[in-house]
Amino acid sequence: MKKDVQVHSFFSDFDISLFRAGKHFRLYEKFGAHITEVDGEKGVYFAVWAPSAKNVSVIGDFNYWLEGEHPLNVRWDGSGIWEGFIPGVKKGDKYKYKIQSNVNDMTLEKADPYALKCERPPNTASIVWDLDYKWKDKKHIGSRKDKNSLESPYSIYELHLGSWRKNMDENRSLTYTEMADELVNYVKECGFTHVEFMPIMEYPYDPSWGYQLTGYFAPTSRFGDPQEFMHLVDAFHAAGIGVILDWVPSHFPEDKHGLGLFDGSHLYEHPDPRRGYHPDWKSLIFNYGRNEVRSFLISNAIFWLDKYHADGLRVDAVASMLYLDYSREDGEWEPNEHGGRENLEAISFVRELNQEVYKSFEGVQTIAEESTSFPMVSRPVDLGGLGFGMKWMMGWMHDTLEYFKKDPIYRRYHQNDITFSMTYTFTENFVLPLSHDEVVYGKHSLLGRMPGDEWQRFANLRLLYSYMFTHPGAKLLFMGAEIGQYEEWNYNTSLDWHLLQYDYHKGIKSLLTGLNKLYRKEPALYEKQFVAEGFEWIAYDDSENSVLSYIRKGEDRKDDLIIVCNFTPSVLENYRVGMPREGKLKEIFSSDKREFGGSGVSNKQLKIEETAIHGKDFSASITIPPLGTVVFKIL
């Protein structure tokens, strides 16, 4: 039986003024489909922003998808909001908005931008849902300020939920519920402090890996419903592991049911194609200067921190937002009002986003994937920065991988490649990323980049990871790196878990588990990981032997660590290294342990002698294993 739309509103005048000013950051409490009760009758309140529409109606399986059965009412205040309460609509019902536009008399069918659940692609309808869930992570949230701080270990396991592991019997990805057991236990076993999910917001096209979103407020239904995703987050929190979500405010796809030309006008995207269209990704760019769009995006960031208890957001493609000439030739972009190439509206948006996030949630982090030398990305807004907590260190990644792919016999000529990062490593709070982008499109897997015979390739990989974990900064590894994946990542297939039956691959996993344990145990590796006081070179200029030696420092001098890396396959015996003080030298970690697949070269406890070298009054004679890293402590 048809029931008419009733006049009803979740919006106060104050809500409207905030929305129009770009200052309403909880829009998910107002827009969308909300199960509610009006005058004793249960149903759903719908609200959508479509200022260029002349008519908007809700179509769905409850009215046989007939246009005009349930027309919404446009608000009188000029906000462009259409709303109304439809009795009898219930959780699980599918719906869309049918929009008749004032622009060229277009008629459009659009998914709800604020939908809490979407149909599983390739279907495109929104689904009425709620977010009822009893969280069990109060202890985790209460301790987040300390565990998620910049002075704590930050070791991130980046993964793509669809291809981490498959149910081989049914040839499908694991569900959120299955991952709450298998994935959580695995990440805990490996010792990572955080996971980072490639975008889990609903996306229509699998090969986009989730970076082309259509359902900004809905976890993808590929793996289950919203409560099941909450359960997965809850399970990670119970295991003491933080959850970071990839978030994409930089662009969105042109799919007909999505945000593009939402009401027939350029509502969410910038109307000028020089600023509203990405030639590389063939996608649309948000209009950061439009107040309502800023409210939409910041509300979306807040939503995942609020309703899904995320511990951080890794913001994708920040560089593409900051520069008007990003991936454009001369004549394809227009300078800003000062004649520069910076996108002033996007910069303002990013700063406001970070201010709101850090004001609203204690202990969370925002992380910028930003590939340029834009200054002060991870510095506070009130000091002139963009306000992110951390930034990916793309220069370190590039230089390090370039160095490691060289045959060790030539590395002596490229010492600067492996030391250059220390000239700028404390200009930002850097994350060292060996991410999914480095193992696709013909770049080879990390193991596939390593030179030499089989033993040397695995030794090089162990050396790379050990150098990474002893270098200042947080750490990020993409799934598969921890088992020495031979093949490039394929979004459509599982990781090659069968490799763990082989000793060298088991050794890589054991090594990374050991490195995570070392990182979490030793304060010198994290207490000052973002400040210059936490690092000191011993010798960076021994290019003849391709050796680096340095000190990592904590708050307490007794926690200092001595790290020595040998980038050649030769055992270096009686190698003298300067020491900051006298005492006894104890080896606490070696990448060459037999359990890691190494040769077992090691150092027994050594006496530090009063012999000057490397500008130090004291030194010790050590043995450095081939293609190995050793970590010492002074007793």
Q: Side chain identity at 10, as an amino acid letter?
A: F
From start to end of 427-583, where are the E strands?
Answer: 430-434, 474-478, 535-542, 547-552, 561-566, 572-579
Does the annotation count 316 as an active-site position? yes
Bond prior to 122 in cis (omega within 30° of 0): yes
Q: Which of 246, 311, 369, 542 is catalytic?
A: 369
The widest CA-to-CA distance across the chain, in whole angstroms, is 94
Cα–Cα separations (whole angstroms), residue 514 to 398, 466, 517, 591: 25, 10, 5, 9
CA atoms of 344 and 359, how far apart (whole Å): 23
How many Cβ atoms sit within 10 Å of the Cβ of residue 37? 11
Distances (CA, A) of 12 to 21, 44, 45, 77: 14, 18, 15, 11
CA dist list (Å): 223 to 95, 108, 176, 532: 21, 29, 5, 44
Contact indicator for 435, 197 with CB cutoff of 8 Å: no
Instruction: Report residue 238 as tokens.
Output: 């119970």
Cβ neighbours of 102 (radius 10 Å): 15
Amino acid, res. 635 = L
Which of 470, 505, 466 is closest to 487 using CA atoms? Answer: 505
The residue behind tokens 């490397």 is 614
Q: At 156, which helix (H) or strand (E)?
A: strand 155-159
Q: Minimal CA–CA distance to 16: which of 72, 65, 77?
A: 77
Q: Where are the alpha helices (DSSP H) in 285-324?
A: 291-306, 318-322
Distances (CA, A) of 352 to 297, 346, 380: 11, 10, 11
Sign, CA dihedral 370-435-564-399, equals negative
Nearest to 215 by CA among 308, 306, 108, 124: 124
Residue the block writes with tokens 């009733």 = 6
Cβ of 205: how many Cβ atoms within 10 Å? 14
Could you tell me the sign of the dihedral formed by the alpha carbons of 251, 257, 259, 261, in that order? positive
First to last CA, the chain: 82
> Which of these is catalytic: 316, 345, 399, 482?
316
Six-digit token string for 542:
């021994």
Residue 230's contacts (CB-CB under 8 Å, 6 or more residues apart) are 131, 133, 135, 308, 309
Residue with tokens 């850097």, as numbered in its chain: 430
Residues whose CB falls within 8 Å of the CB of residue 312, separated by 6 or more in sequence, listed in order: 148, 194, 242, 243, 244, 245, 364, 365, 366, 367, 389
Residue 42 backbone dihedrals phi, psi, to 5 degrees:
-85, 145
Tell how strand 32-38 and strand 41-49 pair up. antiparallel
- Please report, as a single letter, which amino acid is at residue 313: L
Which residues are the active-site residues? 316, 369
